[in-house]
Homo-oligomer: A and B are copies of this chain.
């Protein structure tokens, strides 16, 4: 088994010409990532790919080997450009057709009379998939092995995450501390590097910001180990104090 699969990590595949064309600003990565942080799952890769069957198959086959969880967003609606379900069936060599439970849910949601062919298409997926229930608009997502297929519309996607919680076995929650300092990166680069070497289980990131006409650097510390975060935090704060650099922090 691939070594990576033992890590509690995840990848997102955004299936969406509208993101690649620059027409639509993706916001699903932030939503899924924050939700995964809470569950102790680390998002380690995102790919945005076009609505093309071979791209979906190739990408999903590759990522499902390397990540414990793979989430796809987009392409599960009723129109011709919604090809995620069929592509996932092909990626896993599964039969594709009406999913009994999904069909029943959608028929109930729309009523027998209004259950048009377009709407019926949303019940087509790998027939043995598990469903992800959709409290906002009926049409369910689905799960095949470690691949979780969600819609692209952010409000609907977010409404579906809650019901997924119990299906994800996370690790320790990933904790973050941020220190905002009134300085520039090159002033603190050397010291941060030393501290990073000392705390090799903590991830220290440094991000310049420009806010309300002021410049500064956000120093972000991430780890699943509370003690290590606290120690690292103290170390950075004491360095900043020593250098008389102002902080605009939470603590």
Contacts and interface: CB of A to CB of B under 8 A. Distances in A.
Contact of A204 (B31, B32, B81, B118): B81
A222 interface: yes
B189 A121 contact: yes
A45 B176 CA distance: 30
Interface stretch (A14-22, A92-100, A157-165, A242-250): A14-22
Nearest to A219: B79
B47 A47 contact: yes
Contacts of A129: none
A105 interface: no
Contacts of A25: 27, 30
B81 A206 contact: yes
Contacts of A33: 20-22
A185 B77 contact: yes
A34 B50 CA distance: 16
Interface stretch (A141-149, A190-198, A225-233): A190-198
Interface in A76-104: 77-81
11 contacts: A19-B46, A20-B44, A21-B222, A23-B178, A44-B50, A45-B47, A45-B55, A79-B206, A81-B205, A121-B186, A153-B208
Interface of A: 14, 17-27, 29-34, 36-37, 42-51, 55, 77-81, 116-119, 121-122, 153, 155, 174, 176, 178, 185-190, 192-193, 196, 203-208, 210, 220, 222
